[in-house]
Amino acid sequence: MMTPMRYVVLVLGIIISLHYLLSFTHEEYGRATSLSRFKDTLSKTQATTSSQHQNSTTNRKAKAAFVVLARNGDLEGVLSSMKQMEDRFNKKFDYPWVFLNEEPFTDEFKKLTTEVTQSSTSYGLIPHDHWYQPDSIDEERATKARAKMVEDRVIYGGSVSYRNMCRYNSGFFYRHELLKDYEFYWRVEPNVRFFCDLDYDPFLVMQDNNKVYGFTVSLFEYKETIPTLWDTTKQFIKEHPEYLPADNAMGFLSEDGGETYNRCHFWSNFEIASLNFWRSEPYMKYFEYLDNAGGFYYERWGDAPVHSIGAALFASKDQFHYFEDIGYRHEPFQHCPQGELHSKGKCWCNPSENFDYEWYSCLKQFEALFK
């Protein structure tokens, strides 16, 4: 009797014999089954796959840019942050860099920041009235407020320049001439760390999903810096209830329906956000209201709580995005992706050093919006 293996060999022999017989007697069959035909088909499939991958990473782009507010003395820290961003993300996606300063950038600053990226770089001077303390501020009152904060050891309590920066980031940077053609931005500060590789475009995530604000770290604000910010905000809400959508993110800001502020905010030194949202009527009116109240100088209102409150009130909660896969550190806090996200991003941060659920974090409050 023939063994099963002999049957297999016999059948294969018959099939091969038929293949060669048909190849010689039927020309179309020979062409259809030739090795060169299979090779061409495989090459075309690989080319199509490569093209689709290229389109997903380089061809389609948002109208977006990195925005860096820095001084000439920040050059070393700026280069460090840029190099990490370029290596982790921007070498593949080629988004432009926009640098802003209240003083002209030096030739050295321009030269070295241009050399560290293949993307375009632009350098803008901040208009005087956008940066410096407005004449409407009572300087005697502001001086007394700063002295009291210094006495109480409030961080940056005595600094006018820090207040200028907070006011500028709150209400003016998005009006700069260099940003007028952009719809999204990624704020990058000197001396920060980006720990993970990014193989997708966060700007397109924002654009395609109708998001207006993206973050990595959220935390409580120092109460000593914002004693009247919420009362001022409530007064604005009372005067303009039409600006608040029904599905806003008030729950991130307050546990009692807006009566009090829990001090939660997104840490704005990292933000990927919509420029058009800041340019919208509700936010612009809100900023003007705050600016007229003088709290940027009589207290020390930061751009982080101002941005966070404005976004939470005037956007829908579904328009926020938590970039949990972007590893980031700004001293003294860091977000380090966990589990598979850490390995997928080839992250080099220690997963155990992660601020997400520390007692001072507000991530739980954000997550509670969706439960």
Q: Decide if pLDDT at 364 tops 60.
A: yes
CA distances from 280 to 76, 275, 283, 287, 311 (A): 35, 9, 6, 11, 11
Catalytic residue among 271, 281, 331, 353: 271
Residue 271 appears among annotated catalytic residues: yes
Domain 61-132+168-222+238-276+315-368 belongs in CATH node 1.10.510.10: no
Q: Decide if pLDDT at 48 tops 50.
A: no
What pLDDT score was predicted for residue 308?
A: 98
Whole-angstrom distance, CA of residue 150 vs CA of residue 157: 5
Average pLDDT for the chain = 90
What pLDDT score was predicted for residue 58?
A: 52
Digit-coded pLDDT (tens) for 237-250: 999 999 999 999 99
Residue 3: which pLDDT band, with cuts at 50, 70 and 90? Answer: low
